[in-house]
Structure 1
Amino acid sequence: MPILQRMILSNLQSSCLAFLFCILTLTLTAQKSPSYDPVLNQNPLVSDAYKLLDVGDTEQALENFQQALSQNQDDLSARLGQAMILAELERHAEAFESYDSIVQSYPRHAFAWNGRGLAAFNMEDFDTALQSFKQATAEQPINGFFYETLAWTQMCRGDFSSAAMSAKTATLMYNRKSENSVYPQLIAYFAYLETGDLSNAHASLKYAARNKPHNRWPAPVVDYLTDTIDAGELISFVGDSAQETEAHTYIGLKLRAKQQSHLAKAHLDWVARNGDARVFEYTLARALNLQDNVALLAPKADTEAQ
């Protein structure tokens, strides 16, 4: 599932307009004396932009937000809308700049920190992403999606122990808000396998199997990992490029955990070349490929000793 869709679902909003209003006010109560109320004093251009965005007219909505910012570069409503659209359009460097400008003025705006981290993550700047996601969780700790993004970043950095802990926390926070996402348990499963903690790995997968969604994605992924279906059957459930990217990534991760490196590489290479960049798994596959290639280039201990 694309990252933006996961973010929206994690906030349980029924429309883009409601979602944007939610993120706009997410942490304003924690700010010290904001110069204006960005909701009550909203520019009509911004109000119209939200409505346009809600009906799917992204191009005109972005133009409205940019016009509003040309009138007032400190318009938080416009800046958030602009950043969201730039992220959706995969213009990640520009999205990063927009979110970064928000946190400069509103350093406790959790959603903006998370958006900044997602932009950095998509540019494969994992150090900046890590710092941003940690700040987001510090400002709003009861948010499963924020911890999930942190866990994905730690996986990409090869910090598997921390990834497992962040994924576990993500599940706890999702549960506290009566939300559900199986992805943190999938992260935890593979993170624990990487650290050799088979007991916790199996517990994570068992939890995922108990809590997988009914008859919808990513239930087939869980079925594949529990050996209920094979790789071919998993691929047969794919409905779009995002799901195809996830399927090949999880096949590759499973083969990698079984030390079938050559077969795993074929799937991860496919994702790195052809995958849908809108999903976390695309970036993870690219990062793991890089880690594995660096490991292959590293001199052997016995060679160095000679």
Structure 2
Amino acid sequence: MRRTAARRGIDRPNQPTINVKVRARWTIPLTAGLAITLAACGGPSTPPEPDSPAAYNNRGNVWLGKKEYEKANGDFNEAIRLDPGSVWPRLGKALVGLSTGREEAVADARLAIEAAGWKDENSIYATIVGHLGARRVKKDDVAKEVLDEADRKADKSHWPYPVVKYLRREIDEKALLALATDDDKMTEARCYLGIDQMLSGRPAEARENFLWVKEHGTPGYVEVPLAVAELDRLETEKPAGGK
């Protein structure tokens, strides 16, 4: 099931809301007037309304899906400036950091956790992104700290906590996929599993999971363009004549 996140003070009264299909969990419901600023309704080059953190956040998600990482980061920063307590643009910035191999991924993930609180499922997504981001920049001690903190503080009844259990090596790949009981969860599990495998030097297994997400993943989930970007990375990094 697609999940959207409403923020107080964003929707305008007496206007219908439109959920733009860019990032299902972290896309903020927009009024009809704001929705026209996004790619799905006219192109990301159209400037968002200047006082709308929702529009900047959602346009940032559009840029993220297009691998326009600097533009995405700029829009997420503007959304945070307008609404400093917002979770979703901080998650967006953490994803930019993971995708581009920046150390800031961990700091942004931790800020997202702080904004969400440990009882919120978004803190678990931020944990996963922060952990993988730390590993990408060879900060294995920090990566472990991120998981250990989640083990102490997160609500383990929430999906996607099984992904955290897998990353802590408490369960194996087969057990993780068995717990992904629908296509939404499978999209997420296989994407993060693939990134873990790629960072662990298992590119063939990673490619298999990324291809599944590309071909069968839930449309609108951020893990789909993330997996596609990682597939592109695998092709770029493949040795000449390699498979």
- State the TM-score, normalizing by the size of structure 2: 0.81
Q: CA deviation at 1:83?
A: 5.0
Counterpart selection for 2:78 from 130, 135, 141: 135
Q: How far 1:145 sits from its partner (Å)?
A: 1.7
Q: Are residues 1:79 and 2:66 paired?
A: no
Q: Distance in 2 between matches of 1:83 and 1:289?
A: 31
Q: By how many angstroms is 1:99 displaced? A: 9.4
Structure 1 residue 290: Cα displacement: 1.2
Structure-2 residue corresponding to 1:93? 39
Instruction: Give the CA deviation at 1:194.
Output: 1.0
Secondary structure of the equivalent of 1:247? helix
Gaps (5+ residues) in structure 2? 20-29
- Paired residue secondary structure (2:85): coil
Report the CA distance between 1:279 and its aligned residue. 1.8
Q: Distance in 2 between matches of 1:110 and 1:195?
A: 30
C-alpha separation between the residues in 2 aligned to 1:114 and 1:246?
21
Partner of 1:116: 59
Q: Secondary structure at the match of 1:23?
A: coil
Secondary structure at the residue paired with 1:112? helix
Which of 241, 253, 257 is the matching residue for 2:199?
A: 257
Mapped to 1, the partners of 2:159 and 2:36 lie a distance apart of: 28
Tell me the alpha carbon deviations over residues 88-140 of structure 1, each in whole angstroms, 9 at most, x when there is no partner: xxxx7334648945x2xx31321111111122323443332222112111222
Task: Give the conservation status (yes or no) of the 8 Å contact 1:275–1:282.
Answer: yes
Determine the C-alpha separation between the residues in 2 that align with 1:220 and 1:246: 11
The alignment yields a C-alpha RMSD, in angstroms, of 3.0
Give 1:296's aligned residue: 238
- 5+ unaligned residues in a row in structure 1: which ranges? 12-18, 26-38, 57-75, 85-91, 299-306
The separation in 2 between residues aligned to 1:142 and 1:159, in whole angstroms, is: 25
Question: What is the CA deviation profile of residues 39-66 of structure 1, one whole-angstrom value per residue up to 9, with x for unaligned ones?
Answer: 4xx5xxx4xx46xx8xx9xxxxxxxxxx
Measure, in 2, the Cα distance between the counterparts of 1:78 and 1:148.
24
**Partners of 1:116 and 1:132 within 8 A in 2:** yes
In structure 2, the residue matched to 1:274 is 216
Matched-pair contact (CA < 8 Å) for 1:96–1:120: no
* Structure of larger gyration radius: 1
Deviations 1:115-171 (A, max 9, x none): 111223234433322221121112222222220011112322x23312222112212
- From 155, 160, 166, give the equivalent of 2:102: 160
The equivalent of 1:231 in structure 2 is 173
Provide the C-alpha distance between the structure 2 equivalents of 1:291 and 1:95, rounded to a whole number of angstroms.
30
For the residues of structure 2 that align with 1:144 and 1:165, how far apart are their CA atoms?
13
Q: CA offset at residue 179 of structure 1?
A: 4.7
**Cα distance, 1:263–1:228 mapped onto 2, change above 3 Å:** same
- Write the distance in 1 (CA, Å) between the matches of 2:229 and 2:57: 20
CA contact (8 A) 1:268 1:285 kept: yes
Q: CA deviation at 1:193?
A: 0.6
CA distance 1:254–1:159, shift in 2 (3 Å): closer
Cα separation, 2, equivalents of 1:96 and 1:234:
39
Which ranges of 4 or more aligned residues in structure 1 deviate by more than 6 Å?
Answer: none
Query: 2:10 is matched with which residue: 10, 23, 26?
Result: 23
Distance 1:234 1:116 in 2: 32
The reply on whether 1:174 has 2:116 as its aligned counterpart is yes
Structure 2 CA distance for partners of 1:229 and 1:6, relative to 1, 3 Å: farther
Which amino acid in the other structure matches residue 232 of structure 1?
K
- Counterpart secondary structure, 2:84: coil
Q: Distance in 2 between the 1:151 and 1:24 partners?
A: 25
Q: Secondary structure at the match of 1:196?
A: coil
Aligned counterpart, 2:23? none
Change (3 A) 1:297 1:240: same
Tell me which residue corresponds to 2:189: 247
Q: Which amino acid is the alignment partner of residue 33 of structure 2?
A: R
Deviations 1:228-274 (A, max 9, x none): 22111111112321111111112212222221122222112222232
If the length of structure 1 is used for normalisation, what is the TM-score? 0.66
